[in-house]
Structure 1
Amino acid sequence: MPTPPPSPPTPFHGRLSGHGGTHAVEVARHHGIDTMFTLSGGHVFPLYDGAVKPEPTMRLLDVRHEQTAVFAAEAVGKLTRRAGLAVVTAGPGVTNVVSGVATAHFNGSPLVVVGGRAPDGRWGQGLLQELDQPPLLETITKRAWTVHATDGIGAAVDEAAMLANTAHRGPVFLDIPMDRLYDQAETDLAGAPAPADRTPDPEAVAEVARLLSEAERPVLVYGSDVWLDGAERAALEAAEELGVPVVTNGQGRGVLPGGHPLLASRARGAALGRADLVVVVGTPLDFRLGHGLFGGRDGAPPAKVVHVADSPAQLTRHMTPVAAVSGDLSAALRGIAEAAKPTAAAARWRAEIAEAAAAAVAADAEALASDADPIHPARVYGELNRLLDDDAVVIGDGGDFVSYAGKYIEPKHPGQWLDPGPFGCLGTGMGYSIAARLSRPSSQVVTLLGDGAAGFSLMDVDTLVRHRLPVVMVCGNNGIWGLEKAPMQMIYGYDVIAELTPQTRYDEVVRALGGGGELVTDPAEIGPALRRAFDSGVPYLVNIATDPGNVYPRKTMGV
């Protein structure tokens, strides 16, 4: 089952002694970090030494590419709601993590990245991998800086963890010169500042409640920060008390479990297109939500928009909502639900949207059971849904194939869906898989890969095998870059560089690395192959040849 809501982060107080790596690891442990994701590098050896001694030790998990280390640490943050830790060597070790850090930045995932750095004592002499690294990361982190004193390393790690774990959450980067890591020091740490008060403005909360009390066609939108801020229970209770249809995205998926009568994600177009008030909670008004331009469908006027965010900086700037609330999302949602009195018209609207959602589910039955040859991607999810446990963690890393997953897979609980998020960076799959298996050891872990995405990270199946981390991987293999081929055809009437080799044997790659796998070309064999994967106890890839002509139908507001 998902982890309980996190307690507020607390700073480290106490004495630190030993080399710089020992200082860093002891403080990281205080912040609940039990795994260091890394790829071996001499600049950071003292951090490894600090992890393996003295007791208690910290798990060292080494990967084949630094971006996988960061994706794994980010996914720990997503799943546990406590910052994960990635440690990388200097120079290319740091430059290799930029996409992963940017992904965490756009996702609001708590993450600490520690980079090695060429030694201070000979800086400027053309040392191996000598590079001023924080400027590369300062625009995509809450803070990026260099620690130039051994007795300051513990305080820096303490500040980094506090920053990462405090709303609005996100990645923090610090690098430490090699000589400062190896040096010895003793210091008493007083602790980083405690988080500021996050009580929402009661007048702003009351205004949102008033708007809900007047609305005839209200909709709630729940995003990732509902989960990351520990507000999932308050969000479910608010929706049920108000009786308002709910659309979810990101890690907001599962706040209302699949099948809940208020879950309107399957009637998303009707709900957001005909609403007169949309209350967006814990997610930006970005392209996934049509930039906040709701309403206008079937002659409906533009909808009023309310934005509720976990911190003031997250409130939308590109438009002016009719009301805005920032702060603790649980407090905001409870305050809104207690004060609002929905109209009778809102009850009729709720029934209308529920009927539209039920009709959409019924209309899916044919695709989910399709016997088409080549295989319809929806058939994969028809078979997979029969096998998923209620606590399964599902990871999406791909384009068209994962878009179908977003439509057909509805988690039963929050914190069970991981995708790259609004930055759209492919290659998260193996890192997220590693983190999911460690964070949810008793749950099924299923990673959905497009064949394009598989090329970014499949070598890290070696990591899954070496560390005995069984994961079921499902590859929708249509032999094309689906998100590019169809749009280019539409724009130009032709396409270039949008082809991959059909039926590439990614399953044999996994087998060569020590896992299991098989190719499926017959829709009737999808279910049996998936069952073999779940029963195998090893990293196992079911490589399914899907129809390249079946393109996911995209709409203005996205998936």
Structure 2
Amino acid sequence: MEQQHAGDVAVAVAREHSVDTMFTLSGGHVFPLYDGAVKADPPMRILDVRHEQTAVFAAEATARLTRRPGLAVLTAGPGITNGVSGVATAHFNGSPVVVMGGRAPHSRWGSGALQEMDHPPLFETITKLATTSTGPDTVARDVAHAFEVATAPHRGPVFIDFFMDHLFGPAPADRPAAAPAAPVEPDSEALAAIAGLLAGARRPVLVLGSDVWTDGAEEAARAFAEELRLPVIPNGQGRGILPAGHELLVTRARGLAFSRADLVVVAGTPLDFRLGYGMFGGKEGAPLAKVVHLADAPSQLAAHVGTAGAAAGDLSTVFRELAAAAAKAGVSPTAYAGWTGELAEAATAAIAGDAALLAADADPIHPMRIYGELARVLDDDAVVIGDGGDFVSYAGKYVEPRRPGCWLDPGPYGCLGTGLGYAIAARLARPAAQVVLLLGDGAAGFSLMDVDTLVRHGLPVVMVCGNNGMWGLEKHPMQMLYGYDVAAELQPQCRYDEVVRALGGAGELVTRPGELGPALRRAFDANVPYLVNVMTDPEVAYPRATTGV
């Protein structure tokens, strides 16, 4: 039997699962994985970063943008612990990421070798599987299993580490064939019951979440919404499934929709704080709305709140079969016409009401002016990435993607520092598209050093920093609660653009609203990593009513 070292075999198995890039930060414990990538035919791209969290965030964004598994390779000990937040983010986002880690040699285990640590227990609660490969002879099987687990619905991260001496050792070249998971078939009776709820509803709302995109169900979801004439509110990567300007897209009437709905169908996202924990309606003595939950796997169906209906399975199948069941149940889309029209009018009015602030000449600059200018220069296929608090909350409200798969934010875990890793992945996944990273000045401090990675690897990205010199998401609430704030100040007017220039990119400072448009155009024309550092009004706080609806 032909022999290769275990690193060769692990890389070959990853290639068979459609991985073409390894995100990493160099470490001796994982050299055989690099050697396997270099010698592969064709070679696997090795993209090295400046912090391990960036490697995992890049792998996670790759999975979310391409709907193929992402791969991060981390060296032992601190290399792996630095990646924990990235793995947790992948867990909450349902992103199929495989993290391969180095491990102190088996022959020295227990004697205090450099960076000797049992890593899998750190990951048990934030992965689908956290394990150690048992030896060179099992590497092919172990790695194949890791990818199969990561990509089976409900998707998520898998951690696997390798003893250093095992990774350098010879391993069998033969490996098991890839075994894609069979799609989960939804329960037809459950779908029929949901169709009955749709038939009895007069004010339904359809919420489309990230898993609709991840599951490849965006076309089926759009067809379902259009066939039944359902008003739609997107969540996470569900944004863009109905493009900006679509007559059924009522994002800007979200509050009205959720307060007056009598049925809310939530597909592909948990009933978490972003959706009022699944409690809709109930305002001014009205009854709570009935809630239907659709998920890609039974494990994702809400357990903390009662639902009137639920179904799990391949989401394309769910939408197609639910549409058929609705037709059989006599669902008449015309029954929703008045409600859909009311929400559309409210959304149109809200958009019109934003016009003044989106073009505001206020000095200091209002954050909304940035989004007004950005809308003028974004292409239909632009990938927009948010990494921040208040500043990025405006993006979630005012940036409406025109295509699916073009929006990335940290997701429900809310981890800052995702931005540079996401931008790296977006530039690789969408080489011809604009890539725009929206950074709060707080978030910039977590990962801006990885502009060096963009520069070294020739990855042009436009970065826009909303710089108000504070942790705005904390400062304003503390002032409201206590009349003072602590630990909420950042350096006023910090020159993050000069940091980017020092790392080999380009950038400029913007202090007046009239400078914004020209600065953004220069950034897109530069074809290098470019940061537009915008001084925004520190007195402006994003208007939050609650943490739920």
Q: Give TM-score, length-normalised by structure 1.
A: 0.96
Which consecutive unaligned segments of at least 5 residues does structure 2 have? none
Which residue of structure 2 aligns with residue 540 of structure 1?
530
How far does the alpha carbon of each residue in 1:265-315 deviate from its partner, in whole angstroms, 9 at most, with x for none? 110000011100000000000000000010123543210000000000000
Which residue of structure 2 aligns with residue 110 of structure 1?
96
Confirm or deny that 1:396 pairs with 2:396: no
How far does the alpha carbon of each residue in 1:140-182 deviate from its partner, in whole angstroms, 9 at most, with x for none? 0000000121121111111111111111011000000000000
Which residue of structure 2 aligns with residue 462 of structure 1?
452
Confirm or deny that 1:513 pairs with 2:499: no
How far apart, CA to CA, are the structure 1 residues paired with 2:332 and 2:274? Answer: 27
Give the CA deviation at 1:193.
5.1
How far apart, CA to CA, are the structure 2 residues paired with 1:205 and 1:215? Answer: 15
Q: Which moved more, 1:49-58 or 1:505-514?
A: 49-58
How far does the alpha carbon of each residue in 1:67-86 deviate from its partner, in whole angstroms, 9 at most, with x for none? 00000000000000111100
Q: Contact 2:293/2:301 (CA < 8 Å) preserved in 1?
A: yes
How far apart, CA to CA, are the structure 2 residues paired with 1:240 and 1:432? Answer: 32
How far apart, CA to CA, are the structure 1 residues paired with 2:2 and 2:512? Answer: 61
Confirm or deny that 1:122 pairs with 2:112: no
Q: CA RMSD in A?
A: 1.2
Q: Contact 1:395/1:429 (CA < 8 Å) preserved in 2?
A: yes
Q: Contact 2:144/2:176 (CA < 8 Å) preserved in 1?
A: no
Query: What is the total number of aligned residue pairs between the two structures?
Result: 545
Q: Contact 1:217/1:349 (CA < 8 Å) preserved in 2?
A: yes
Taking the TM superposition and a 5 Å limit, the aligned residue runs for 1:473-552 are: 473-552=463-542
Which residue of structure 2 aligns with residue 232 of structure 1?
218
Which residue of structure 1 aligns with residue 209 of structure 2?
223
Say which SS state the counterpart of residue 489 (structure 1) adopts.
helix
Q: Which amino acid aligns with 1:327?
A: G
Taking the TM superposition and a 5 Å limit, the aligned residue runs for 1:168-207 are: 168-191=154-177, 194-207=180-193
Give the CA deviation at 1:362.
0.5
Give the CA deviation at 1:489.
1.1
Q: Contact 1:305/1:321 (CA < 8 Å) preserved in 2?
A: yes
How far apart, CA to CA, are the structure 2 residues paired with 1:54 and 1:157? Answer: 16
Q: Which moved more, 1:382-391 or 1:150-159?
A: 150-159
Say which SS state the counterpart of residue 51 (structure 1) adopts.
helix
Taking the TM superposition and a 5 Å limit, the aligned residue runs for 1:109-508 are: 109-191=95-177, 194-340=180-326, 341-342=331-332, 344-508=334-498
Q: Give TM-score, length-normalised by structure 2.
A: 0.98
Give the CA deviation at 1:486.
1.0
How far apart, CA to CA, are the structure 2 residues paired with 1:444 and 1:303? Answer: 40
How far does the alpha carbon of each residue in 1:327-350 deviate from its partner, in whole angstroms, 9 at most, with x for none? 010111111122221364421101
Q: Which moved more, 1:431-440 or 1:482-491?
A: 482-491
How far apart, CA to CA, are the structure 1 residues paired with 2:349 and 2:374? Answer: 21
How far does the alpha carbon of each residue in 1:379-412 deviate from its partner, in whole angstroms, 9 at most, with x for none? 0000000000000000000000000001110001
Confirm or deny that 1:38 pairs with 2:24: yes
Cα separation, partners in 2 of 1:230 and 1:464, compared to 1, 3 Å: same
Greater than 6 Å deviation, 4+ residue runs: none
Which residue of structure 2 aligns with residue 90 of structure 1?
76
Give the CA deviation at 1:192.
6.1
How far apart, CA to CA, are the structure 2 residues paired with 1:299 and 1:392? Answer: 44
Q: Contact 2:519/2:532 (CA < 8 Å) preserved in 1?
A: yes
Say which SS state the counterpart of residue 136 (structure 1) adopts.
helix
How far does the alpha carbon of each residue in 1:464-511 deviate from its partner, in whole angstroms, 9 at most, with x for none? 000000000000000010110111111111111111111100000000
Which residue of structure 2 aligns with residue 12 of structure 1?
none
How far does the alpha carbon of each residue in 1:179-219 deviate from its partner, in whole angstroms, 9 at most, with x for none? 00000122533346542441100111111111111100000
Which consecutive unaligned segments of at least 5 residues does structure 1 have? 1-14
How far apart, CA to CA, are the structure 1 residues paired with 2:348 and 2:3? Answer: 62
Q: Contact 2:103/2:116 (CA < 8 Å) preserved in 1?
A: yes
How far apart, CA to CA, are the structure 1 residues paired with 2:515 and 2:267? Answer: 42
How far does the alpha carbon of each residue in 1:9-61 deviate from its partner, in whole angstroms, 9 at most, with x for none? xxxxxx87400000000010011100000000000000000000142100000
Say which SS state the counterpart of residue 125 (structure 2) adopts.
helix
How far apart, CA to CA, are the structure 2 residues paired with 1:394 and 1:299? Answer: 40
Q: Contact 1:38/1:86 (CA < 8 Å) preserved in 2?
A: yes
How far apart, CA to CA, are the structure 1 residues paired with 2:106 and 2:178? Answer: 25
How far does the alpha carbon of each residue in 1:72-102 deviate from its partner, in whole angstroms, 9 at most, with x for none? 0000000001111000100000000000000
How far apart, CA to CA, are the structure 1 residues paired with 2:239 and 2:176? Answer: 39
How far apart, CA to CA, are the structure 2 residues paired with 1:197 and 1:95? Answer: 34
How far does the alpha carbon of each residue in 1:422-449 deviate from its partner, in whole angstroms, 9 at most, with x for none? 0000000000000000000000000000
Q: Which amino acid aligns with 1:138?
A: E
Which residue of structure 2 aligns with residue 61 of structure 1?
47
Q: Contact 2:17/2:178 (CA < 8 Å) preserved in 1?
A: no
Q: Which amino acid aligns with 1:272?
A: F
Taking the TM superposition and a 5 Å limit, the aligned residue runs for 1:67-78 are: 67-78=53-64
Q: Which amino acid aligns with 1:120?
A: H
Q: Which amino acid aligns with 2:65?
A: L
Q: Contact 1:213/1:343 (CA < 8 Å) preserved in 2?
A: no
Cα separation, partners in 2 of 1:18 and 1:222, compared to 1, 3 Å: same
Q: Contact 2:9/2:173 (CA < 8 Å) preserved in 1?
A: no
Say which SS state the counterpart of residue 522 (structure 2) adopts.
helix
